[in-house]
Amino acid sequence: MSFNPTDAELLEDIDFSQDIKGPALFVWWCGIEVGFVRPVTRHEHPEVRRKHKGHWYNPINFRGYFETKEAAACVLIREYVKENPDCEVAQAAIRKDYDFIRDYRQRIVDAVRKRMEEEEE
């Protein structure tokens, strides 16, 4: 399946949530957590801070510095799809099959609950 959306098309389905331990933002695409992006902070190397202050990047799969968190998130999503071409959840997100994604997430929740109940017994 071809995946060539514009940034504007991707942004329609992107949400961010704050990491409770720092300035990073988790990136959610069509209800799937695909990774996180971080702003350049005072903890970066001084030269990086000077050159890229106010920029965003993905520290796990670095592809450069971006002026906005949205631009960094779009690159992150494209990399996620590229690295997981056969992932059924990624393919569902490409199709915008929200029912499949919701059911998939519910199966995970149910499996975790079942395991917790078994451990309590």
pLDDT in tens, 78-100: 999 999 889 999 999 999 999 99
Q: For residue 32, is it within any domain?
A: yes
The alpha carbon of residue 94 and the mean position of all alpha carbons in its chain are separated, in whole angstroms, by 14
Tell me, yes or no, whether 44 lies in a domain: yes
Q: Residue 105 domain-assigned? A: no
The 10 Å Cβ neighbour count of residue 69 is 20
Instruction: Give this prediction's pTM.
Output: 0.83
- Structural domain span for residue 26: 7-85
How far is 73 from 15, CA to CA, in rounded Å? 9
Q: State the alpha helices, DSSP H only, in 1-121.
A: 7-11, 46-52, 69-83, 88-95, 98-120
Give the separation between CA 81 and CA 69, rounded to whole angstroms: 18
**42: DSSP letter:** T
Domain assignment present for residue 29? The answer is yes
Question: Quick one: pLDDT at residue 1?
Answer: 57
pLDDT for 62 equals: 86
Number of domains in the chain: 1
Average pLDDT, integer, range 65-84: 94
Give domain status of residue 20, yes or no: yes
